[in-house]
């Protein structure tokens, strides 16, 4: 089953005399392609083609470093934020605009949204689907947008009428 | 010839062996890239379309969908207000309220219901989630009873808010 190496995309590199000599000097197994049912079978025969299985090299499993900031503390923080939103929205609805409730809203709501979006990125835009780079890009984009949202809320509370007053006015406009 | 990965996959590989085209150098990226490429060529088994509709996962789905929708709206407003001065757009409370005032009453009530319903649903279902986190209502009966309660309360409160 000798294959025509001239069809290979490496044809250009083979014009180099060093590489040509290396190819000629290589053992005859490199002029044949061997297909095996499994890597164990390939290892058993002692003959295998050029090794694309290097890609799937078995790496000894390393237990991930235990970091409670990414684990239970993150969960605690999520629930703390969610619980705090109940009295916050109640106070905001009952008493109207107040600098403290408005500032708290402008911090708690964007962070709560961020946590939710982060969960969606983990579920739908994970490295297995979009690659490590894609996943990291999404995560850092989300962080940038959340920072912008936090800044926007701060500016609105500081220089405009405030979040509670906006909802009240817009709702009854 | 050296038995390096480069030698084996670049110099010595005959035709018929897939040659990696990624230039990532880390081990993890090298092992994941071909798997991602393969996944793009495979069809996906049906999942949401064939699973029996149930209150449990429908409400869970809507919790995420409504949360995402309300959050997108909130972010759009906040980020819009933050960058409006840079693009010269007049985007402040007075402009918003004056635009809303020009809308007819029927459209206003409909729009308020459309905005309020995801918000009330997400809030009340969120309280249901927090109750689960204290291990309450963790039975089929509890899940369904609280689920119907959330559905009823969120609809009623959304209607009430729309009529303010």
Q: How confident is the model at residue B92 (pLDDT cuts 50, 70, 90)?
A: confident
On whether the CB atoms of residues A20 and A14 are closer than 8 A, the answer is: yes
* Residue B9 domain-assigned (yes or no): no
On whether the CB atoms of residues B147 and B132 are closer than 8 A, the answer is: no
Taking residues B132-151, what's their average pLDDT? Answer: 97
Q: Residue A28: which residues within 8 A CB-CB, separation 6 or more? A: none
pLDDT number for residue A34: 58
Residue A154 to residue A103: CA distance in whole angstroms: 7
The helix (H) or strand (E) run that includes residue B86 is helix B55-87
pLDDT number for residue B36: 79
Q: Residue A142: which residues within 8 A CB-CB, separation 6 or more? A: A114, A117, A118, A121
* Residue B43 domain-assigned (yes or no): no
Task: Please write the tens of the pLDDT for every residue from B41-90.
Answer: 888 899 989 999 999 999 999 999 999 999 999 999 999 999 998 888 87
> Per the structure, how many domains does chain B have?
1
Task: Count how many pairs of residues, chain A against chain B, have C-beta atoms within 8 Å.
Answer: 150
User: Chain B residues with CB inside 8 Å of A15's CB?
Assistant: none
CA distances from A156 to A24, A92, A102, A159, B147 (A): 74, 16, 10, 6, 36
User: Chain B residues with CB inside 8 Å of A30's CB?
Assistant: 12, 14
Chain A residue with CA closest to B113: the answer is: A171
Q: CB B78 to CB A57 under 8 A?
A: no
Domain range for residue B108? 54-163
Q: Is B47 annotated as a binding residue?
A: no
Residue A8 to residue A3: CA distance in whole angstroms: 10
Q: CB B79 to CB A152 under 8 A?
A: yes
* Residue B154 domain-assigned (yes or no): yes
Q: CB A30 to CB B14 under 8 A?
A: yes
* Residue B130 domain-assigned (yes or no): yes
For residue A106, the distance in angstroms to the closest alpha carbon of chain B comes to 9
CATH of the domain at B114: 1.20.1300.10
* Residue B14 domain-assigned (yes or no): no
Q: CB A173 to CB B97 under 8 A?
A: yes
Reported ipTM: the value is 0.78
pLDDT number for residue A11: 53
Q: Residue B143: which residues within 8 A CB-CB, separation 6 or more? A: B55, B56, B137
Chain B residue with CA closest to A18: the answer is: B1
What pTM was estimated for this model as a whole? Answer: 0.72
Chain A residue with CA closest to B96: the answer is: A170
Residue B33 to residue A130: CA distance in whole angstroms: 9
* Residue B3 domain-assigned (yes or no): no
- Any idea what DSSP says for residue B10? I
User: Chain A residues with CB inside 8 Å of B8's CB?
Assistant: 50-51, 54
* Residue B35 domain-assigned (yes or no): no
The tens place of each residue's pLDDT in chain A, 173 residues long, gives 444 444 454 554 555 555 555 555 454 444 555 566 776 776 676 665 545 455 556 677 888 888 877 788 999 999 999 999 999 999 999 999 999 999 999 999 999 999 999 999 999 999 888 888 999 999 999 999 999 999 999 999 999 999 999 999 999 98
* Residue B93 domain-assigned (yes or no): yes
Residue from B136, B43, B8 nearest A51 by CA: B8
């Amino acid at each position: 089953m000798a294959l025509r190496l001239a069809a290979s995309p490496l044809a250009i590199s083979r014009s180099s005399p060093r590489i040509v000599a290396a190819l000629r000097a290589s053992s005859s197994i490199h002029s044949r392609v061997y297909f095996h049912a499994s890597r164990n079978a390939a290892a058993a025969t002692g003959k295998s083609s050029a090794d694309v299985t290097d890609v799937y090299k078995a790496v000894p499993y390393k237990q991930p470093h235990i970091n409670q900031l990414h684990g239970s503390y993150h969960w605690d923080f999520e629930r703390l934020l969610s619980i705090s939103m109940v009295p916050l929205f109640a106070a905001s609805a009952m008493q109207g605009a107040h600098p403290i409730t408005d500032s708290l809203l402008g911090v708690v709501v964007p962070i709560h949204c961020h946590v939710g979006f982060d969960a969606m990125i983990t579920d739908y835009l994970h490295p297995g689907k979009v690659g490590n780079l894609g996943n990291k890009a999404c995560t850092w984009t989300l962080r940038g947008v959340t920072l912008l949202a936090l800044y926007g809320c701060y500016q609105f509370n500081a220089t405009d009428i405030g979040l509670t007053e906006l909802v009240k006015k817009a709702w009854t406009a | 010839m050296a038995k390096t990965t480069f030698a084996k996959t670049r110099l010595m590989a005959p035709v018929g062996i897939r040659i990696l085209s990624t230039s990532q150098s880390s081990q993890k990226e090298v092992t994941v890239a071909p798997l991602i490429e393969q996944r793009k060529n495979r069809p996906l088994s049906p999942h949401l379309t064939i699973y029996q509709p149930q209150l449990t996962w429908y409400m869970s789905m809507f919790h995420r969908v409504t949360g995402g929708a309300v959050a997108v709206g909130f972010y759009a407003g906040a980020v819009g207000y933050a960058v409006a001065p840079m693009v010269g757009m007049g985007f402040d409370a007075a402009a918003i309220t004056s635009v809303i005032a020009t809308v007819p009453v029927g459209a206003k009530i409909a729009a308020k219901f459309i905005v309020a319903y995801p918000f009330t649903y997400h809030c009340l279902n969120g309280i249901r989630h927090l109750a689960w986190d204290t291990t309450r209502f963790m039975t089929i009966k509890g899940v369904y009873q609280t689920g119907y309660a959330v559905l009823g309360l969120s609809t009623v409160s959304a209607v009430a808010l729309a009529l303010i």
